[in-house]
Copies of this chain bind each other. A is one copy, B any other.
Amino acid sequence: MPGRQLDVLEANEAFYRAFSERDADAMEGVWAEQAPVACIHPGWDALDGREEVLRSWRAILEGPSAPDVRCTLATAHVMGDVAFVVCREELPGAVLVATNVFTREAGAWRLVHHHAGPLAPGQAKPSRPVRGPVN
């Protein structure tokens, strides 16, 4: 796997590490500072701009119901200085599918867009079964 794909997957893992450790400061560091960012949480309307997006993450991570999340089956598509990752998010009682778009800023991959939505029960592809009681 080319090094750039690994670098993108590492940035993707940093995002999920900040998420699962409920570390709002680390989450802030994951997102792009120059490129305009956006975010679509499951069931939510689209959020626009760094301030609105980071405010939502701070509320989620500091709230009482911040979910434990585990990223699995991540694949990176790199197109020059922009990349997107498709992955699973495994939470207690639910499995989501996510798209994370990254761009390079000052040599580092930074998140510009996150979109997660539910994987319906029974819809996991046979080649990528869900591990756990959900499906």
* A residues with CB within 8 A of B: 35-36, 38, 40, 42-46, 48, 73, 75, 77, 79-82, 84, 86, 97, 99, 101, 103, 112-113, 115-120, 123-125, 128
| Oligomeric state, in copies | 2
Please give the distance in Å from A51's CB to the nearest CB on chain B: 14
**Given A80-B80, A120-B44, A125-B45, A115 contacting B103 (CB threshold 8 A):** no
Contact yes or no, B45 A119, CB < 8 A: yes
CA distance A35 to B135 in the complex (A): 32
Q: How far is the CB of A120 from chain B (nearest CB, A)?
A: 3
A120-B41 Cα distance, complex, nearest whole Å = 11
Most buried by B among A48, A79, A82: A79
